[in-house]
Amino acid sequence: MMDLINVSYDTQIPNNVGLSEDKKVLKALEKWHPGYINWWNDLIPQNFQESMVYLRTAVSVDPKGWAKFDYVKMPEYRWGVLLAPEVEGRTIPMGEHYGEPAWQEVPGEYRNMLKRLIVIQGDTEPGSVEQQRFLGLTAPSLYDMRNLFQVNVEEGRHLWAMVYLLQKYFGRDGREEADDLLVRSSGSDEAPRMLGAFNEETPDWLSFFMFTYFTDRDGKMQLESLAQSGFDPLSRTCRFMLTEEAHHMFVGETGVGRTIQATLEAMAKHGITDPYDVGKIRDLGVIDLPTIQKKLNLHYTLSLDLFGQEVSTNAANAFNYGIKGRYMEQRIDDDHKLQNDTYAVTSIKDGKIVTEDVPALTAINMRLRDDYVRDAAGGVGRWNKQIAKAGVNFELKLPHEGFHRQIGVFSSVAVDPDGNIISSDEWTKRQNEWLPTKADGDYIQSLMKPCFEPGQYASWIAAPKVGIDNKPGDFEYVKLHMA
């Protein structure tokens, strides 16, 4: 019998989907594999490829003890295909097929929509690795470098997960889409990634932390809603990906938290109480809180754009067809069909921001975004507690949802962080108060000096409270290969 809990290593590709017995898909994946390895090798700087990195590798999909930690060279990381265990008798949790048995094969009529959703999800995974490719060179510690690589290899595995679905269930089209996932590339003129936020640069580590906190959280919300899918293999794939995704947001939240901590400690040490005394604070080699707020503003709003149009036909279709659900669909107390319900959506009428009820089916994106905003507020609250505890009078805020938006109803107007519609002149005049300027970027860049001694940290970031896998403070998370 196939062992569906423990990962099988009897093929080149670790998996719990019985790949060795599925010759057709195995062949397709093995054909895709060299292209993937080339992509990885061309991407990450060579000396890191040769380094031994203390990584966790998924060995099981059992929630207790699903991974093991060990040193591994990244190109030898066992990327694999792992699906959460099948739930006996699972039914479709929403839409017009509510209550019918979940699909184990792709229903022909939804083939294209499913494929498109999987391709878009798949496209984001390698996108972020590409954005972060040079960050290893300026890692503020071996601990952080290890976290970066952990995030990177897991995004790589998530790409594998999507590619597996494409190759297993979508025939020749699926294989072509899988190949194209390696053709598109972040920020490329030739063939950019599909979504805007994945073509932005991640120029420094604070951006990386903000990205993993805000943008990976969009990923989490998307995975949560795909985990509801009536297409069972997609649901199972996403459920397991969520296990890994949690770590990425941990990296983001603690990364920003530790940056704030270093700033607070430096301010306290030098008796600075005014958080706006930017010049003096920067002299201490830490990042001032107003600049952190600006970075937050940028990454939060880019991430809000990822939720698409507030009122969306595609999202409505995906829900109604049972392909993509809402966040925590099972816990929502309604009929899960939304045929006659409404949902409040913001829009612009006569130059004012108003809220209107629209058919709930069409407001699926808006609802997911609202859930996201609540979810994203948690970490911000914890950062503020840190700041309050240090006695500094400053509060980080999530800006208004209309601020700095490129997609959706707010893309046509300028809105300040407090939610007031302003003229484009005023926006031009004041945007530097709200978004990082080139000078801010240059300053942060000036702090990005590598710190590769075990247990040492760059000036601008505090040490973590606990180590990965409970390792001690001076643990050598990356054994650097110095060619």
Partner 1 sequence: MTKIIDFRTDPSKYRHWRVEYDGPVANLFMDVDEDAGLFDGYQLKLNSYDLGVDIELADVVQRMRFEHPQVKVVVMQSAKDKVFCAGANIRMLGGAQHSHKVNFCKFTNETRNTFEAAESDSGQKYIAAVKGACAGGGYELALACNHIMLTDDSTSSVSLPEVPLLAVLPGTGGLTRVTDKRKVRRDRADIFCSTEEGVRGKRAQEWRLVDEVIANSKFDETVQTRAREFAADSAKADVTQGITLNPIDRTIAEDGSVSYELVEVALERSARRATITIKGPEEAAPADMDAFTAQGDAAYMLRLARQLDDAILHLRLNEMDAGLLVFRTQGDPESFAAHEALLMDNADHWLANEVLKYWKRILKRIDVTSRSMAALVEHGSCFTGILAEILFSVDRTYMMEDAFDGDNRPMATITLTGANFGPMPMSNDLTRLQTRFLGEPEAVDKAKAAIGEQLEAEEAEELGLVTMILDDIDWEDEIRIFMEERASFSPDAMTGMEANLRFAGPETMETRIFGRLTAWQNWIFNRPNAVGADGALQRYGTGKRGDYNMERV
Q: What is the smallest separation between the CB atom of 191 and partner 1, expressed in angstroms?
A: 4
Stretch of 144-152, 188-196, 390-398, 418-426 lying at the interface with partner 1 (CB under 8 A): 188-196
364 binds partner 1 (CB under 8 A): yes
Residue placing its CB nearer to partner 1 in the complex, 151 or 361: 361
Q: How far is the CB of 385 from partner 1 (least distance, A)?
A: 41
Query: Mask: binding to partner 1, 194-223, rule CB under 8 A, as x and -?
Result: x-----------------------------
Stretch of 83-91, 151-159, 312-320, 417-425 lying at the interface with partner 1 (CB under 8 A)? 312-320
Q: Does 303 bind partner 1 (CB under 8 A)?
A: no
Rounded CA gap, 131 and 152, in Å?
A: 10
**Nearest-CA neighbor of 481 among 56, 6, 74?**
74
361 binds partner 1 per the rule CB under 8 A: yes
Q: In this structure, which amino acid lies at residue 435?
A: L
Length of the chain in terms of residues written: 483
Q: Is 152 in the site for partner 1 (CB under 8 A)?
A: no
Scanning 7-15, 108-116, 198-206, 270-278 for contacts with partner 1 by CB under 8 A, the matching segment is 108-116
| Of the residues 359, 419, 455, 467, which one makes contact with partner 1 according to CB under 8 A | 359
229 forms part of the interface with partner 1 (CB under 8 A): no
- Non-local (6+) Cβ contacts of 422 within 8 A are 414, 415, 416, 430
Which of residues 33, 73, 90, 116 is near partner 1 by CB under 8 A? 116
Smallest separation, CB 350 to partner 1 (Å): 12
Question: Rule CB under 8 A: is residue 290 a binding residue for partner 1?
Answer: no
Which span sits near partner 1 by CB under 8 A: 110-118, 128-136, 151-159, 276-284? 110-118
Min dist CB 316 to partner 1, Å, is 2
419 conformational bin, left if phi > 0, alpha if psi -120 to 50, beta if neither: left
Query: In the range 316-335, which residues lie near partner 1 by CB under 8 A?
Result: 316-317, 319-321
SS (H, E, C) 306-372: CCCCCCCHHHHHHHHCCCCCCCCHHHCCCCCCCCCCEEEEEEEECCEEEEEEEEHHHHHHHHHHHHH
96 touching partner 1, by CB under 8 A: yes
> Under the criterion CB under 8 A, does residue 37 sit at the interface with partner 1?
no
In the complex, least distance from residue 180 CB atom to partner 1, rounded to whole angstroms: 5
Q: Is 313 in the site for partner 1 (CB under 8 A)?
A: yes
In this complex, which beta carbon is closest to partner 1, that of residue 82 or of residue 363? Answer: 363
Asked whether position 315 contacts partner 1 by CB under 8 A, the answer is yes
Interface with partner 1 includes 339 (CB under 8 A)?
yes
411 contributes a contact to partner 1 by CB under 8 A: no
- Residues forming the site for partner 1 (CB under 8 A): 96, 112-113, 115-116, 180, 183-184, 188-192, 194, 313, 315-317, 319-321, 338-339, 359, 361-362, 364
